[in-house]
Amino acid sequence: MKDRKSYIEENKDRFLEELFDLIRIPSVSAKEENKGDMLKAAEYLKKSLMEAGADNAEIYTTEGHPVLVGEKIIDKSLPTVLVYGHYDVQPAEPFELWNTDPFEPVVKDGKIWARGADDDKGQLFMHVKAFEYMVRTENLPCNVKFMIEGEEEIGSESLSKFLDGHKDLLKADVILVSDTTMIAPEIPSITTGLRGLSYMQVELTGPNRDLHSGLYGGAVGNPCNILCKMIASLTNEKNQVTIPGFFNDVLISSDKERAEMAKRPYNEEKYKKSIDVDALMGEESYSTHERLGIRPSLDVNGIWGGYTDEGAKTILPAKAYAKISMRLVPDQDSGKIAKLFEEHFKSIAPEGVRVKVEYLHGGQAYVSPIDSTEYLAASMAMEEAFGKKPIPVRSGGSIPIISNFEKTLGIKSILMGFGLDEDAIHSPNENYPLFNFFKGIETIPLFYKYYAESS
Ligand code: BES
Ligand code: MN
Ligand code: MN
C-alpha cells in the first residue's frame, strides 16, 4: 500500500472541497427547521459513497431522520467491515461566540473551523475517502458496508428501531467507528470504553402564577430556591452521587486496571489551562481519567425559571426547570438509573411544590476488549501510521447506539477516533486539524488490511 500517501497528496484539495460541501448543509438534528437539511445531507453522502465506488447506497426514511446504508461486496467469503457514522450535528448556538460562520468552513492555522468539522462529518468523511482510495487503487481487501444516521446527537431512536428489521442488510463482522478522540496528534490511542447516559428533565411547580416577591416572598415556597437545594443534595461533600442504589451495579476496576490506566500520559496543568480553570473537581479518591472513564457522574446541563431578562423584576416564580444528565459506567442500566433518579427526586421535594420528571433519552455504556482481532488490527494500523503503538483509553463520552449494535446485531465495535479534546465539539468554534483528517484517511486502509489478513 505504498501509494496511500501519494493518493492523498494528489487529491487532498478535492477531499476538502467535498467535505466542505457536506459541512455547508446545516443538518442540526435537534431542530424542526432543519428537517429538509437532514435528507440533503443523507443524499449528499449517498452520492459520495456511489462516486467512491459503492455497489449501491440507499436512503431509508424513518419516523425521524433518514438512515443511509451503502455497500460494496467483493467476495461473500471475505469478512465485512461495517462503518458507522452520523451526519447530524449539534446546534451551533450561541452564534455570536463563533469567529466564523459555523456552516461556512474555513481553513486557518492548519485546522478546519465549522460545526461538524470533527463531530462527525470530518471523521466520517475520512472513511468515505479511505474507501475511495481502496476501491480506485484496488486495495480493498474485504467487503464494506456503511451505516450513517442522522439522530446520534438526539439519541439514535430511529436507528435503534431500524436495526431490528434490518439484521441481514447490516450483517458484518466488525463495526468501525471514528467518532471519538485520541490523546494527542503524536500520541495515538484507541477508545475501549464509552459511558452510558440517562438524560432527565425536571419541572417544579409552586404557586399558580408568578407572585409579587414582596407580598409573598418568605411565606411561600419558591420553586427556584427549592430546585437549587434539591439539585445540591444530589451530590455529597465527596462529590459522590447520593441517589440510593445509584452505585449498586457499578463495576469496580481492579488495582491492576487502575495502575494500567494511570500510565496514560496526562498533564494536569495543561488540562486545567486548556479550559481555563484553576482547580478540578470530582469524586474523592479518583484521578481525573478515572472520574471520566470508570466512574459515573451527574451534571446539570441547564437550569431555568423565573425572570432572566434585562434588569430586575421582583417575582417569586411559579415554575423552575432543569436538565440533568448522568453519565454511566458498566453495568449501570440507563432505564434503571432513570427510575432511581425519578423516585429519589420526587421523594426529596418538600410540600408546596409539585414535581414532574421526564426521561429524555439515554443508552448503555460500552467496553471493548484489547485482545480481539479488531483491536489488534486497529492497533497495528495506528502503529504503522503514527510510528507509535496506540494506548487503550476509556472515554467519558457516549455513543449510546454502540451498545445496541452489540445487543441487537451481535457485532462488536472498534472505536478508532482521530479527534482531539481541544477540537471544541458541541462548542462554538468547533475545529478539526487537517493533520488528523489526512492521517485518518491514511490509517483506515491499514485497518482493513490487517483486519482482513487476520480474520
Ligand atoms: N462523538 C460524540 C461522543 C464522543 C466524543 C465520545 C468524544 C468520545 C469522545 C457524540 O457525537 C456525542 O456527542 N454523544 C453524545 C450522546 C448523545 C446521546 C447526545 C454525548 O456524549 O453527549
Ligand atoms: Mn459524534
Ligand atoms: Mn456529538
Q: What is the pLDDT of residues 336-369, one digit of tens each?
A: 999 999 999 999 999 999 999 999 999 999 999 9
Nearest CA to ligand 1 atom 20: 398
The one-letter amino acid at 205: T
Nearest CA to ligand 1 atom 5: 180
pLDDT at 271 over 90: yes
Do β-strands 211-212 and 431-433 pair in parallel, antiparallel, or remain unpaired?
A: unpaired
Among the bound ligands, the one closest to the CA of 151: 1
Among the bound ligands, the one closest to the CA of 400: 1
Tell me which residues have their CB closer than 6 angstroms to ligand 1. Answer: 119-120, 152-153, 155, 179-181, 194, 197, 395, 397-400
Q: What is the pLDDT of residues 374-392, one digit of tens each?
A: 999 999 999 999 999 999 9
pLDDT of residue 14: 98
Q: What is the pLDDT of residues 29-51, one digit of tens each?
A: 999 999 999 999 999 999 999 99
Is 4-194+365-454 in CATH node 3.40.190.10? no
Q: In the 3-class helix/strand/coil scheme, how is 5-74 assigned residue by residue?
A: HHHHHHHHHHHHHHHHHHHCCCCECCCHHHHHHHHHHHHHHHHHHHHHCCCEEEEECCCCCCEEEEEECC
Q: What is the mean pLDDT of the chain?
A: 97
Average pLDDT (257-286) is: 96
Q: Indicate the domain borders of the chain.
A: 4-194+365-454, 196-271+293-362
d(CA 378, CA 382): 6
Query: Do residues 137 and 445 make contact, with C-beta atoms less than 8 angstroms apart?
Result: no
Q: Please give the model's pTM, rounded to 2 decimal places.
A: 0.95
Average pLDDT (220-227) is: 98
What confidence category does residue 437 fall into, taking pLDDT thresholds of 50, 70 and 90? very high
Look at residues 189, 115, 184, 197 and name the one whose alpha carbon lies nearest to residue 154.
197
Spacing, Cα 420 to ligand 1 middle (Å): 13
Average pLDDT (158-181) is: 98
Other C-beta atoms closer than 10 Å to the C-beta of 443 total: 25
Atom index in ligand 1 nearest the CA of residue 195 equals 21
Atom index in ligand 1 nearest the CA of residue 419 equals 7
pLDDT of residue 265: 94
Nearest CA to ligand 1 atom 16: 398
Average pLDDT (282-308) is: 98
Q: What is the pLDDT of residues 299-345, one digit of tens each?
A: 999 999 999 999 999 999 999 999 999 999 999 999 999 999 999 99
pLDDT of residue 1: 65
pLDDT of residue 2: 59
Give me the CATH topology for the region 196-271+293-362. Answer: Alpha-Beta Plaits (3.30.70)
Nearest CA to ligand 1 atom 10: 399
d(CA 64, CA 367): 28
Spacing, Cα 155 to ligand 1 middle (Å): 10
